[in-house]
Structures are given as C-alpha cells and as structure tokens.
Amino acid sequence: MPTSKTIAVAMSGGVDSSAVAALLCEQGHNVVGLTLQLWNQRRLAGHEGMPESVQGRCCSIDDVYDARRVAETLGIPYYVVNQEDRFEHDVVRPFVSEYLSGRTPVPCSLCNNHLKFDQLLITARQIGADLLATGHYARNEFDERSGRWVLKRPADRAKDQTYFLFGLTQEQLSRTLFPLGEMRKPEVREEARRAGLRLFEKPDSQEICFIPGGDYKKFLDAYLAEQGEEFPDTAGELVTTSGEVVGTHGGIHNFTVGQRKGLGVATGSPLYVLEIRGDKRQVVVGGGDELFSRTLRAKAVNWIAIDDLRGPMRVQAKIRHRHEPADAVIEKSGDDEVLATFDKPQRAITPGQAVVFYDGDAVVGGGWIT
C-alpha cells in the first residue's frame, strides 16, 4: 500500500492480531488499536461448577493487558471499547436459548456477524479510521468482473477461519483487511518476535471466549443461576427412528447430533444421537449408519461471491468448523432457505451449526442449518 491510511486494528491480546498491528505500523500506516470488552470473566466465577479464578481467552484482564503492552511497544494509541451489554444480548442469550431448544450453536459466528465487525467498523469510523484490520486467517479481494468483494480461504489452510466469517456483508468486507491471509502461523510468530513483542510465543486458544474450560453445560447452569432463572426442565424420552421408546434422558441440552457417549442405554450395537426434537423433548437415537444424510436446509443465508442464487450451483459445503468441505449442489427451496444436496452422505449434520459454501477458495455464502 503506497499511501498511509488510518487503520483500526482489532486487538485481542493474542499473537495474530498483535502481528497485524506490527505489520501495519511497519507499512507506515496510522494505526489505532481497539479491544472489545465483551464479557466479564469474573461474573460467573465461584458459581456452582465454575472455576474460582478464570483465564478465559478474550476479554480477560490478562489479554487486555497484553494488548495494551503491544500497543505501548508499537507506540500506537489503544482503547478498550465496552460492548458487554450487546454481547450478552446478541451472543450469550442466543447461545443459551439455542442449547436449551436442542440445537448446537456457533457463538463465534454470531459474534462476528452481529457484533464484532459491525461494532468495530462503527467505532473505527467514529474515530476517523476508514479501514479495520483483524488477525483472522482469511483473504479478502475485490473481484472486478462481478464487482463484489470476495472472501477467500487463507494460505495457511490449517488456520482457515472463513467458516466463522460467512456473515460479512459487502459493505463490511469493503472496509476490512485480513493482513495474515497470505501468511503461515510460524511467519506470524516470527513477525511478532521481530517487532519486539514479548508475547510472540503465547499459545493459541480455541475455546469459546466466555466459557473458561470449555464446559458449556456448567456455563448454562451458572448463567441461569446468576440470572435467577429456573433451568427449564427438558427431560424426556430417548426414541428410535421408528418411534420406539428405549429410555429417558435428563434434558435435551445435554446432547449434540452425532454424540455417542452418555446416552445411558445399553444395546448390542453402539447408539448415536440422530436428532433432537426440542418441541417434544425427544432425543432420537440410532445406529451410526443412520447418522449420514445427503441433504440439509439452511436459513438466513448471506451471499458473498454472488449477489443471489439464481439456479442450482455446484459448491463444496462445510458443515462444521472441523469438516472438510464436501461436494454438493445448492438451490433455493423457499424464501430465505437453501437446500444443499451432497454427492455423498455427510455424517452428523447438526441444526444450529453454520454451513458455508465454497467455490474453490472463494466463499460463495453461508447460513444456519435448520
């Protein structure tokens, strides 16, 4: 980039976003660091089943401290923007209600779609920055032919985060930079080290930022207790696909499609959770072969590489974060609903998760599995 711009960098206190800040400084830009304070990690500390002291990923005091130290080292202005209210409303509440109604949510996508990019881009403009840079591993390019901004998988496939970014609008993409898109993780650490950032060896973290330790069931318990809400009774029956009742369960939130352990039913062959019927409080179980399905329906679809889906389109569809995209054909099946038909049946298609459609490296779009 030949000219110097004012760029806001979303800083989490991790290596990736710190390296982004360092890179942009080296390129001569006017960089402002921003951290979203989204969740008070001390809030549920000490509640039944939650750790007394907490070391969550983002928003912990330590991470804000790390981000602030990086900003000091680089000599850039740095601010913490509090969005705890919105995070609770847009991410935590939906996360809780999704689980309680038998779906398996993806809070990071909710956060990116409804909060992170939205709010940080607003804050960036408020403080006079036209662009926002983040430490996500993804690429973002303007396609002259289609006249659209296209989100693409990064050079470092192992770190690909496009699955969590499918909700970005054209307006958001036009103002977002992913400087790590062409880099691999070791190069990013090396950049951080070279810039004199002491956190260059800080370990990666994969867990959900507001659930220290990753135990979502304990989190649900503690959160509802803190809110003074009764944990809803969602206990019910375990049934087979033919409707036979084979046992009972203590609550649908304890189950995820594809789960094998913890069913409490002894049969000759292994049983898996096939489906969760929230309205009937039923958990449908069956053999592993029954887990495979050739179709899924997605709602609230956001298109990126195309402006709309006009006819059937051949794509590769990714149905969970650790899923290798599989060949499929997508077509519209209703207002704001897309039907994806896979060439080969896919295991454990899970309502509540996101499905993201790729055309090679490019993200065609994505939505939520119903």
Partner 1 sequence: MHRVYLDNNATTPLLPEVFEAMRPYFFEKFGNASSIHQQGQQARSAVEHAREQVAELLNCRPAEIVFTSGGTEGDNLALFGLMKPGDHLITSSVEHHAVLNACKRLEEMGCAVTYLPVDGRALVDPDDVRRALRPATKMISIILANNETGVLQPVSEIGKVATEADVYFHTDAVQAAGKVPLDVKETGCDLLTITGHKMHGPQGAGALFVRRGTLLQPMMYGGRHERSRRAGTENLAGIVGLGKAAEIAREGFADGSVERMAGLRDRLEHGIVESVEQIGVNSVGAPRVPNTTNIYFDCIEGEAMVIALDLKGLSVSTGAACSSGAIEPSHVLTAMGLSPDRARASIRFSLGKQNTADDVEFALSLVPEVVARLREISPVYKRVHA
Q: Give whichever of 97 and 227 is closer to partner 1, judged by the CB atom.
A: 227
CB of 86 to partner 1, least distance (A): 12
CB of 127 to partner 1, least distance (A): 5
Stretch that binds partner 1, among 76-84, 226-234, 247-255, 256-264 (CB under 8 A): 76-84
The alpha carbon dihedral of 295, 301, 304, 305 has a sign of positive
Which residues ranging from 18 to 57 are in contact with partner 1 (CB under 8 A)? 32, 37, 40
CB of 39 to partner 1, least distance (A): 11
Q: Quick one: tokens of 325?
A: 């995209």
Spot the catalytic one: 58, 59, 108, 209: 209
Q: Are strands 131-133 and 176-177 parallel, antiparallel or unpaired?
A: parallel
CB of 43 to partner 1, least distance (A): 11
Stretch that binds partner 1, among 78-86, 133-141, 215-223, 254-262 (CB under 8 A): 78-86
CB of 64 to partner 1, least distance (A): 7
**Distance in angstroms (rounded) separating the CA atoms of residues 150 and 139:** 8
**Distance in angstroms (rounded) separating the CA atoms of residues 206 and 212:** 11
Which residues ranging from 119 to 178 are in contact with partner 1 (CB under 8 A)? 122-123, 125-128
Q: Give whichever of 22 and 32 is closer to partner 1, judged by the CB atom.
A: 32
- In terms of Cα–Cα distance, which of 266, 260, 322, 265 is closest to 288? 260
Q: Check residue 77 for interaction with partner 1 (CB under 8 A).
A: yes
Buried b vs exposed e over 111-121: b needs ≥16 C-beta within 10 Å?
A: bbbbbbbbbbb
Please give the order of strands across the beta sheet that includes 272-277.
245-249, 236-240, 282-286, 272-277
CB of 61 to partner 1, least distance (A): 7
User: Which residue pairs from 201-205 have beta carbons closer than 8 angstroms and sit at least 24 positions apart in sequence?
Assistant: 202/14, 202/15, 202/66, 204/14, 204/15, 205/14, 205/57
Which residues ranging from 84 to 123 are in contact with partner 1 (CB under 8 A)? 84, 122-123
Q: Give whichever of 81 and 224 is closer to partner 1, judged by the CB atom.
A: 81
Q: Give whichever of 83 and 109 is closer to partner 1, judged by the CB atom.
A: 83
Q: Give whichever of 127 and 225 is closer to partner 1, judged by the CB atom.
A: 127
- In terms of Cα–Cα distance, which of 140, 129, 120 is closest to 6? 129
Q: Give whichever of 127 and 309 is closer to partner 1, judged by the CB atom.
A: 127
Based on the residue annotation, tell me whether 108 is a catalytic residue of this protein: no
Contacts of 362 (CB under 8 A, 6+ apart): 150, 151, 152, 304, 305
Spot the catalytic one: 25, 59, 108, 111: 111
**Distance in angstroms (rounded) separating the CA atoms of residues 18 and 111:** 20
Based on the residue annotation, tell me whether 209 is a catalytic residue of this protein: yes
Q: Give whichever of 40 and 234 is closer to partner 1, judged by the CB atom.
A: 40
CB of 317 to partner 1, least distance (A): 34
Instruction: Give the number of other Cβ atoms within 10 Å of residue 346's Cβ.
Output: 20
DSSP H helical segments within 227-316, as ranges?
A: none
Q: Which residue has the tokens 């896919």?
A: 346
Binding footprint of partner 1, residue count (CB under 8 A): 17
Which residues ranging from 211 to 230 are in contact with partner 1 (CB under 8 A)? none
- In terms of Cα–Cα distance, which of 150, 154, 143 is closest to 182? 154
Cite the active site residues.
111, 209
Provide the binding-site residues for partner 1, judged by CB under 8 A: 32, 37, 40, 61, 64, 77, 79-82, 84, 122-123, 125-128
